[in-house]
Amino acid sequence: MAARCTNSSRRLHELFNVGYIRAHGAFAMLNRIAPFFIVDDLGATLAFYRSKLGFDVLYQGGGDGNGDDFWAIVGRDRVMLMVKAIAPEVHPQPNHSRHEWARWDAYIGTDDPDSLYTEFVAREVPVHRELTNTSDGLRAFEITDNSGYALCFGRPADT
């Protein structure tokens, strides 16, 4: 079991290591963000992100051989999300369930939302808002994952 913990720690370090050099007096560059979503069913969530959104499972753990794993990191290209099943009484709370104006739980930038939209429609991903040029100045669309989280995929609209 100790070897698994060491390997797990090493893998997490590899995933989060950004490898930049800090210049004297300069601010550190930010490279990524990985939202952390609470889910009810880790297995169902991993299946959704793999089969519907084309993500890979980059890490899965928590059980350490003493029970079921309860958290994971999924990723595609340069995007990562962390998901965790905390306890049976702790459920997902997507932003839109708290207030109607809080539409998204994550915005994911893409250079080609049109192609991605076509891919997701072909995979029968639940589309929350169709691909359009939004009033926010984006070319974007929104989907809902299996836990109810709203993900917006887009880029600045051409002017």
The SS3 assignment for 15 reads: helix
The predicted structure's pLDDT at residue 23? 55
* Contact in structure between 152 and 103 (CB atoms under 8 Å): yes
* Contact in structure between 113 and 99 (CB atoms under 8 Å): no
In single-letter form, the type of residue at position 63 comes to G
The predicted structure's pLDDT at residue 31? 76
Q: What is the mean pLDDT of the chain?
A: 86
With cut-offs at 50, 70 and 90, classify the pLDDT of residue 7. low
What is the arithmetic mean of pLDDT over 18-27?
57
pLDDT at 18 over 50: no
Chain segment 55-106, per-residue pLDDT in tens: 999 999 998 778 789 999 999 999 999 999 999 999 999 998 888 888 899 9
Superfamily of domain 31-87: 2,3-Dihydroxybiphenyl 1,2-Dioxygenase, domain 1 (3.10.180.10)
CATH class entry, domain 100-156: alpha beta
pTM: 0.81
What is the arithmetic mean of pLDDT over 112-121?
98
User: Per mean pLDDT, which range of 5-9, 53-57, 97-101, 125-129 is the poorest?
Assistant: 5-9
With cut-offs at 50, 70 and 90, classify the pLDDT of residue 112. very high
3-state secondary structure 53-86: CCCEEEEEECCCCCCCCCEEEEEECCEEEEEECC
pLDDT at 1 over 50: no
With cut-offs at 50, 70 and 90, classify the pLDDT of residue 2. very low
- All structural domains of the chain with their residue ranges: 31-87, 100-156
